[in-house]
Amino acid sequence: MNLDRMFQAGVALAIAGVVWSVWPQGGVAPYASKNRIWHSTYRHGPAVLIDRGHWNRSSADPRFDGLTQILVFDGYQVSRNRQEFVPELLHGTWVLIVDDAMGWKGALRPLGLHLHPDAFSPDEVGTIRDWVHRGGALLLIADRAPAGEASQSLASAFSVTLADTPVGAVRFELGGDWGDGMRFATSLGGGKVAGPPDSIAILKSQGVALEFGRGRVIVLTAQLAGTGWSDNRQLMLNLMHWLTRTE
């Protein structure tokens, strides 16, 4: 075992004692509102892989349990991954969801250690970039610091810039395919994101969508809120349907 992994294992126990007091913010389940879908889009839908191998904050956040339920109810075949990304791992996957990856250095922030976080190795970034270029779809979420900084290397592979600059609560009214079946979405805040010139801004400064080779990418920095009057559930489905080219 190399020294880097030995150190990661050593700090894991220390982090475990404080992580539940730091996040998630109690009672908030942004993706879980009305998450039972009466008519699923798929019977045996596209394979979705959710990352859990890069010190993801969302592993301790109930919002993403709601997101998983939405995808399952809509017919997606959902699995989770705790390994480093290699080409063989992504074989057969249509959508990769990476949410609030911090890397072990970012996970030390609650302990007061401000190291430069980078959640992904250069090999992993190259693997994901090549996979998307061949037709894969990536949903990258970095909605609270230091996830933006830690995910920047992956975002840069698609000419996307993330900023952990705080943004206040926002109400979004979307048109076109993004707003299909919904009135509005709400965000508790989050960071900012900027895409390349040919990208599409979907949540003002908190979401971009783009084509990359034969694949597609969506990057979100909005903390999607779960009030009973919000259509965030439908928004997430619309985004996933765009990624999987659902007509």
DSSP class of residue 31?
Answer: T
**Of the candidate ranges 58-67, 112-121, 145-154, the one whose mean pLDDT is the lowest:** 58-67
Strand partners, 207: 220
Tell me: pLDDT of 173 over 70.
Answer: yes
Mean local confidence (pLDDT), 44-66: 74
Place of tokens 């592993």: 59
- pLDDT, position 223: 79
> Domain residue spans in the chain?
40-243
Q: Spell out a b/e string for 11-26, using b for 16 or more CB atoms within 10 Å of the CB, else e.
A: eeeebeeebeeeebee
Q: How confident is the model at residue 136 (pLDDT cuts 50, 70, 90)?
A: very high
- pLDDT, position 126: 97
Q: Is 209 helix (H, G, I), strand (E, B) or coil?
A: strand
CATH code for the structural domain at 40-243 = 3.40.50.880
CA dihedral 5, 82, 128, 24 (to 10 degrees): -100
Q: What angle do CA 133, 139, 141 make, to 5 degrees?
A: 135
Six token digits for residue 88: 């063989």
Q: If you average pLDDT over every residue of the chain, what do you get?
A: 78
**Of the candidate ranges 124-128, 203-207, 241-245, the one whose mean pLDDT is the lowest:** 203-207
Tell me: pLDDT of 105 over 70.
Answer: no
**Of the candidate ranges 6-10, 135-139, 187-191, the one whose mean pLDDT is the lowest:** 6-10
- pLDDT, position 15: 39
6-42 pLDDT tens trace:
445 454 444 333 333 233 333 344 444 444 455 788 8
Cα distance between residue 228 and residue 209, in whole Å: 26
Tell me: pLDDT of 148 over 50.
Answer: yes
What string of DSSP letters covers 133-183?
HTT-EEEEE--STTHHHHTHHHHHTTT-EEEEEEE--EEE---GGGGTT-S
Six token digits for residue 244: 């999987």
199-219 pLDDT tens trace:
999 888 889 999 999 999 999
Whole-model pTM? 0.80
Mean local confidence (pLDDT), 148-163: 91
